[in-house]
C-alpha cells in the first residue's frame, strides 16, 4: 500500500497531462484554499528561510500578492473558526472542545464559508483536517456546506502516546470513518491525489476546493519520495513535500484550463510549535521538528506575532497584479468575507469580523481596510490598532510600535501611557462584546 501511494508522486505529471482543458466562461472565479498546519512565518524560502526550497509557493507569491502582516488565531481552532465563519472564536458557541472525545461543534446559527459559496452556485469540496466538531454528524464538513470531504476530524496527534485517548484517529469520507489505522507518511500524497481528482472532475460550475494539510503539525510525517531530500533535515523534507503538493494542485488547474479564472489562497493556521509540551517529545519527535517564526517573537499558542502572524499569499489572474508585496494588516476573517464577495455571495446578517479585500486586491484602493485585530486565547490578550500593538499576555502592558519594531523587542508602555490607556479601553469594549475577560490590568 505504502509503495503504491508513494509511487503516485512520480506519475502525477503524466496523469495531469491527460486532463481535457475546460474553457472557463464563469463570471465568478473558482476558489482554492491551501492551508498548512503549524507552518511558521520563516519556513518558506520566499519568507527568508536559507535552506528549505519552496519553488512552487515562491512562484505563487510572484504571480500574486504576498502578505507580510497576515494574522490569524494562534492555534488550530480559532484560526479555522475565523476562516470558516469570518468571526472571532469567542463569538461562536461551540459548547465543548472539538478534538478527540470533544462534544463541541459549529452551531447551526453559523453561516459557513462553504454554505455561502454553495448558495452562490459553487461545488464545494474539502480535503484534510477539519477540527470544528465531529461527535455529532451535524458538525461534520458535509453537513456544514461541503459536498464532499476526505480527511481527519482533528489534529494528527490525537492518539497515543501524544494524547491519552482511546478514540480512534481515522480517515473520514463524508460522514463515515473509512480507514483506521492509516499511514501518516502518505497523508500529503493522498490528499494531493484527492485534490487533483476533484479538479479533474469539475464541471462548468465554479468550484471551491479547501485542502487543509495535516503537516507540518507534530508528529511530522513525510513520504519516502521526499525523506532525506531537503537541506534542512526531516522538517525541511516535510515542508518541501507540502510545496510539491501545492505545485501539483497549480499544475492541475493549468491542465484543466481554469488557472486563469481561479483565486488561490495559501496560508498557515498559526505559527510553529516551538514550545511543544513534553507529551510531544516522545516516539521520535524532537524539539527541532518544529518550524521557525523567522525574526518574530513567540510561537504557536502565544499572542506575540510569532504565534499569530503567518505566511500568506493570494493569486487571482487578471485581478491581482503579479509581484505585489504588502505589509498592510490583514486578518483571517477577511479571507471569509473576501471569498464570498469574489463569488458574488452574501454573508449572514450577523456580526462578521472580516473585511472585503477585493478592492484592495484589485488595486482599486491603496490600503487594506483592516484597522485593528484582536488576539484571543482564553482571554483577550492583545490588540493591534494602526501602528501600535498592546499585549497583556504577561498581565502587564507591553506596547509595541509595529512599524519601527515589528519584532516586539521594545516595550514602549511607560513612554506612551495615553496610547496604552486608549488601546486597553478598546480591549475592554471588545471583551464585553464577546463575553470574555481581558488579560491583566493597568497599574
For residues 283 and 50, the answer to whether their CB atoms sit within 8 Å is no
Burial of 15 (0-12, 13-18, 19+ CB in 10 A): middle
List the pLDDT tens digit at each of the 443 positions of the chain.
Answer: 334 444 444 444 434 433 333 333 348 999 999 999 999 999 999 999 999 999 999 999 999 999 999 999 999 999 999 999 999 999 999 999 999 999 999 999 999 999 999 999 999 999 999 999 999 999 999 999 999 999 999 999 999 999 999 999 999 999 999 999 999 999 999 999 999 999 999 999 999 999 999 999 999 999 999 999 999 999 999 999 999 999 999 999 999 999 999 999 999 999 999 999 999 999 999 999 999 999 999 999 999 999 999 999 999 999 999 999 999 999 999 999 999 999 999 877 789 999 999 999 999 999 999 999 999 999 999 999 999 999 999 999 999 999 999 999 999 999 999 999 999 999 999 999 999 999 989 98
Is 46 tagged catalytic? no
- At 403, list the grid cell: 512599524
Q: Is the dihedral of CA 120, 125, 131, 134 positive or negative?
A: positive
Q: State the Cα–Cα distance between residues 42 and 299, nearest whole angstrom.
A: 11
Q: Which of 328, 245, 251, 243 is nearest to 49 (CA)?
A: 243
- At 129, list the grid cell: 483536517
81 membership: H or E segment, kind and range:
helix 76-85
Q: Which of 342, 380, 266 is nearest to 33 (CA)?
A: 266
Q: State the Cα–Cα distance between residues 309 and 116, nearest whole angstrom.
A: 27
Catalytic residue among 76, 289, 299, 391: 76
Burial of 8 (0-12, 13-18, 19+ CB in 10 A): middle
Which DSSP string do the residues of 359-377 spell out, in sequence order? HHHTTSSSS-S--EEEEES
Q: Which of 340, 325, 341, 315 is nearest to 250 (CA)?
A: 315
Is 5 tagged catalytic? no
Catalytic residue among 56, 131, 221, 289: 131
Packing angle between helix 2-17 and helix 187-201, nearest 10 degrees? Answer: 30
**What does the radius of gyration of the chain's CA atoms come to, in whole angstroms?**
21
For residues 265 and 35, the answer to whether their CB atoms sit within 8 Å is no
For residues 187 and 2, the answer to whether their CB atoms sit within 8 Å is no
DSSP secondary structure code for residue 289 in this structure: G
31 membership: H or E segment, kind and range:
strand 30-36
> Cell 478514540 sits at which residue?
167
For residues 335 and 83, the answer to whether their CB atoms sit within 8 Å is yes
Q: Which of 438, 382, 439, 373 is nearest to 411 (CA)?
A: 382
For residues 356 and 369, the answer to whether their CB atoms sit within 8 Å is yes
Peptide bond into 66 cis (omega under 30): no
Burial of 355 (0-12, 13-18, 19+ CB in 10 A): buried
Q: State the Cα–Cα distance between residues 139 and 104, nearest whole angstrom.
A: 8
Q: Which of 257, 6, 35, 259 is nearest to 131 (CA)?
A: 35
Q: How many residues does the chain have?
A: 443
Domains and CATH numbers, the chain: 2-370 (3.40.720.10), 373-434 (3.30.1120.10)
Amino acid at each position: 500500500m505504502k509503495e503504491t501511494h508513494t509511487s503516485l508522486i512520480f506519475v502525477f505529471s503524466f496523469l495531469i497531462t491527460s486532463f481535457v482543458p475546460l474553457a472557463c466562461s464563469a463570471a465568478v472565479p473558482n476558489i482554492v484554499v491551501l492551508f498548512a498546519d503549524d507552518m511558521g512565518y520563516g519556513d518558506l524560502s520566499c519568507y527568508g528561510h536559507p535552506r528549505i526550497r519552496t519553488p512552487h509557493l515562491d512562484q505563487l507569491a510572484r504571480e500574486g500578492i504576498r502578505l507580510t502582516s497576515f494574522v490569524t488565531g494562534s492555534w488550530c481552532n480559532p484560526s479555522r473558526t475565523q476562516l470558516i465563519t469570518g468571526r472571532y472564536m469567542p463569538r461562536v458557541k461551540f459548547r465543548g472542545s472539538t478534538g478527540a472525545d470533544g462534544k463541541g461543534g459549529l452551531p447551526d446559527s453559523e453561516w459557513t464559508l462553504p454554505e455561502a459559496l454553495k448558495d452562490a452556485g459553487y461545488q464545494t469540496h474539502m480535503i484534510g483536517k477539519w477540527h470544528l466538531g465531529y461527535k455529532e454528524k451535524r458538525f461534520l464538513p458535509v453537513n456544514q456546506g461541503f459536498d464532499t470531504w476526505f480527511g481527519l476530524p482533528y489534529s494528527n496527534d490525537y492518539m497515543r502516546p501524544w494524547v491519552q485517548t482511546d478514540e480512534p484517529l481515522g480517515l473520514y469520507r463524508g460522514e463515515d470513518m473509512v480507514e483506521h489505522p492509516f499511514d501518516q507518511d502518505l497523508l500529503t500524497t493522498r490528499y494531493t491525489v484527492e485534490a487533483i481528482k476533484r479538479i479533474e472532475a469539475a464541471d462548468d460550475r465554479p468550484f471551491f476546493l479547501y485542502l487543509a494539510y495535516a503537516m507540518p503539525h507534530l508528529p511530522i510525517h513525510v513520504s519516502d519520495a521526499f525523506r532525506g531530500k531537503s537541506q534542512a533535515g526531516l522538517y525541511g523534507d516535510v515542508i518541501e513535500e507540502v510545496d510539491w503538493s501545492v505545485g501539483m494542485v497549480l499544475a492541475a488547474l493549468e491542465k484543466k484550463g481554469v488557472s486563469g479564472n481561479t483565486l488561490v489562497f495559501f496560508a498557515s493556521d498559526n505559527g510553529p510549535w516551538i514550545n511543544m509540551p513534553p507529551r510531544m517529545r516522545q516516539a521520535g519527535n524532537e524539539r527541532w521538528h518544529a518550524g521557525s517564526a523567522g525574526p518574530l517573537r513567540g510561537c504557536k499558542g502565544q499572542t506575540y506575532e510569532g504565534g499569530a502572524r503567518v505566511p500568506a499569499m493570494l493569486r487571482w489572474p487578471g485581478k491581482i497584479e503579479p509581484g505585489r508585496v504588502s505589509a498592510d494588516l490583514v486578518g483571517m476573517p477577511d479571507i471569509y468575507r473576501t471569498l464570498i464577495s469574489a463569488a458574488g455571495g452574501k454573508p449572514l446578517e450577523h456580526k462578521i469580523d472580516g473585511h472585503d479585500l477585493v478592492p484592495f486586491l484589485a488595486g482599486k484602493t491603496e490600503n487594506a481596510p483592516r484597522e485593528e485585530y484582536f488576539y484571543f486565547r482564553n482571554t483577550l490578550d492583545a490588540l493591534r490598532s494602526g501602528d501600535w500593538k498592546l499585549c497583556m499576555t504577561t498581565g502587564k502592558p507591553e506596547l509595541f510600535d509595529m512599524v519601527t519594531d515589528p519584532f516586539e523587542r521594545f516595550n514602549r508602555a511607560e513612554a506612551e501611557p495615553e496610547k496604552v490607556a486608549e488601546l486597553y479601553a478598546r480591549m475592554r469594549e471588545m471583551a464585553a462584546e464577546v463575553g470574555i475577560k481581558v488579560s491583566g490590568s493597568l497599574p
